[in-house]
Amino acid sequence: MKAVTWHGKRDVRVDTVPDPTIQEATDAIVRITTSGICGSDLHLYETLGPFMNDGDILGHEPMGVVEAVGSGVTNVAVGDRVVIPFQISCGHCFMCDQHLYTQCETTQVREEGMGAALFGFSKLYGAVAGGQAELLRVPQAQNTTIQVPDGPPDERFVLLSDVLPTAWQAVEYAAIPDGGTVVILGLGPIGAMASRIAHHQGHRVIGVDLVPDRLAREAARGIEIVDLAIHEDDLADVLREMTGGRGPDSVIDAVGMEAHGAPVGKLAHQLVGLLPDAVGEKVMEHGGIDRLSALHAAIDIVRRGGTISIIGVYGGTADPMPMLNLFDKQIQVRMGQANVKRWVGDILPLLMDGDPLDAESFATHTVPLDEAPDAYEKFQKKQDGAIKILLKP
């Protein structure tokens, strides 16, 4: 089969690799019909190379049709149309019973000290082959599948793999009060979808970004926007002025460790990328730092007693945090990978009832799998209005 594979920093290729097979009774094989490129894939493309192996298959946002199931899978059958959550979870351990599927005790990557295994995301999360491919082996298929009906196109449902539940959790964790205001830092795929969800729920939403295409796209949907390219130096003052001098009730950090305006963190990432993998891995595990400008901005912006929801990915282990400000302002902070299956019951009815979030038209680009290398470059450089790219095997 064909698959998108990692071969080094900014070097992804479409290779021919062996077809996956059933290995455990709880496996399924899915023929992929659509798979997304995620902002988290860019972390592998750019920053987390020390944890990757040459030839790793990328991708954690797929959907398709079941081609085979193991003897232990009874709730999914050949021919079913399914979306694959980005995390692999059993559905019956203590953590899954708490709806903390990202902490599944059956698939935790204990040798790395990490949570549930993820598709296509380095040895930190199990080095499981990903879904930017023609076929995908799905472990723990009894829970690591979301059945969707025939009829609407893949574009309506594929975001259930990551974007929709991640954005939904970001809004839930933000604890926006009735009549309250949320500021969303970063209007990439997650931030843009979070803005739509919060707006659909009746909240006042202010989106912050510096990419004109992103700002224009959400402004056209009625979202208030602030251009960071203009207000980088006075962002907090501008947002306080927009919120009665107090600041917003909630802030969602949808940027994470790739934040603009953090030269020290950027330099550290670049230096680690130059080290031999074994050395770079240890540096990131024990002394890694992030670009924290977005998170520091969130702490400054949010009102006293407000809530910060962190959904942008961070990976540092030695990050300096302004604990005095957090404590003094009595800020609540919630964060974590999205527990996909926790939110499907809330989201799926919206997709079947008029699609008010416009999930079906959310992707800006759809290209053949063979064009994945160009798509990665375009997405990473924010060229041609690329906000969300889907691949078609």
For each of the chain's 393 residues, which pLDDT tens digit applies?
Answer: 999 999 998 999 999 999 999 999 999 999 999 999 998 898 888 766 778 899 999 999 999 999 999 999 999 999 999 999 999 999 999 999 999 999 999 999 999 999 999 999 888 899 999 999 999 999 999 999 999 999 999 999 999 999 999 999 999 999 999 999 999 999 999 999 999 999 999 999 999 999 999 999 999 999 999 999 999 999 999 999 999 999 999 999 998 765 443 343 443 444 344 444 444 444 344 444 446 788 899 999 999 999 999 998 876 666 678 899 999 999 999 999 999 999 999 999 999 988 999 999 999 999 999 999 999 999 998 899 999 999 999
Q: What's the pLDDT score for residue 94?
A: 98
Q: Which residues pair with 198 in a beta bridge?
A: none
Ordered by start, the domain boundaries in the chain are 2-162+339-392, 166-335
Q: What's the pLDDT score for residue 299?
A: 95
- In a 3-state reduction of DSSP, which class is residue 204? strand
Q: Which of 243, 145, 248, 253 is nearest to 190 (CA)?
A: 253
CATH of 166-335, one of 2.40.50.100, 3.20.20.140, 3.40.640.10, 3.40.50.720: 3.40.50.720
Q: How far is residue 193's CA from residue 364's CA, in Å, rounded to a whole number?
A: 13
Output the pTM of the full model: 0.90
- The third-level CATH classification (topology) of the domain covering 2-162+339-392 is Quinone Oxidoreductase; Chain A, domain 1 (3.90.180)
Q: What's the pLDDT score for residue 382?
A: 87
Question: DSSP state, 18?
Answer: P
| Token representation of residue 115 | 């949570």
CA dihedral 191, 369, 131, 17 (to 10 degrees): -150
